[in-house]
Amino acid sequence: MESVSGVVIEVAELVKTYPGITAVDNISFTVRQGEIFGMLGPNGAGKSTTIECLEGVRQPDNGRIRILGLDPKKDGFKLRERIGIQFQSAALPDRLKVWEAIDLFATFYKRPLDCHQLLETMQLTEKRDAYLAKLSGGQKQRLFIALALVNQPELVFLDELTTGLDPQARRAMWSLVQEIRAQGKTIFLTTHFMEEAERLCDRVAIIDHGQIIALDTPQNLINALGSENRVIFATAQPVDAAALEAIPGVHRVEQIRDRVVVYGPKDGLVGRVVNALEANGIAFDSLQAEPPTLEDVFLSLTGKEIRN
């Protein structure tokens, strides 16, 4: 198998076991240059193990990995010169200052970025003299991304980038990732946030129990579900589910306190639900139609909801 041009990551039949558990169970995929590729799955699904095998910090039991055409096991030092890594759990001494951390990591590489420029891009200029212990979660995460970018990498690994961040910081992080990609870099990320995968990734591999159970663009994954939409409304009255289930095409009806969810085919669902409600004299409020999301894809593929 020769390295195809434009392919940045090649993984074939990757297996990694720990005592008593197969963390990664025979997975294969490729990532193309310039992609944002996401690995989505619940905690413990094997995402971090996979990403760490790709980074070369963990040795797989079986399988073949090529990153930028290099074998992470044999060419580790050469590879680490060309990739950027942000770990899910890593730390630096609390008594280190922001600029010192960047300055230190810059010395590890042959062609580092200018420290000022990097601080500017990461919006850390004001914090350059702050101790790491004094940074907020979002600032610390930005610093770790800065360290992952200091060597001008061709490929960046981001493991659970936004875990522990508030929604605002999370959104800021997403636009940052898009900016990084706009510079022509390839991004491989793992997440257990559906919305993150859906909004950010060009392609998503859904992983559960160490296996890839689906791999496509978020839209194709959703489309593959069929065209099931849902209509949600609120009502103060008791609702006879049978009356709604009798609507042509409706698959099922869920009631959660005063909210009712009607599942059915996309075309004409809203109109039919509204008609049925009026025909039955049910007063309703804040009615809305929702297209399916990756959450539904995950639910239908695994039969369970992803937990944060």
The CA distance from 138 to 144, in Å, is 10
Q: Is 105 in the site for another protein (CB under 8 A)?
A: yes
Lookup: tokens for 9: 């990551």
CA 278 to chain centroid, in Å, comes to 42
Nearer to another protein, 150 or 231 (CB): 150
Nearer to another protein, 29 or 87 (CB): 87
Q: Hey, what amino acid is at 139?
A: Q
| Burial status of residue 38 (CB atoms within 10 A of its CB: 0-12, 13-18, 19 or more) | buried
- Near another protein by CB under 8 A: residue from 11, 147, 200, 297: 147
Burial 203-242, CB ≥16 within 10 A → b, else e: bbbbbbbbebebbeebeebbeeeeebbbbbbebeeebeee
Which range in 25-33, 34-42, 90-98, 202-210 contacts another protein by CB under 8 A?
90-98
3-state secondary structure at position 184:
coil
Q: Is 75 in the site for another protein (CB under 8 A)?
A: no
The CA distance from 34 to 57, in Å, is 23
- Near another protein by CB under 8 A: residue from 6, 28, 43, 90: 90
The CA distance from 41 to 302, in Å, is 10
Q: Is 87 in the site for another protein (CB under 8 A)?
A: yes
Total residues at the site for another protein (CB under 8 A)?
18
Which range in 1-9, 80-88, 212-220, 222-230 contacts another protein by CB under 8 A?
80-88
Q: Is 93 in the site for another protein (CB under 8 A)?
A: yes
Q: Is 18 in the site for another protein (CB under 8 A)?
A: no
- Near another protein by CB under 8 A: residue from 109, 174, 263, 284: 109
Q: Is 133 in the site for another protein (CB under 8 A)?
A: no
CB of 95 to another protein, least distance (A): 12
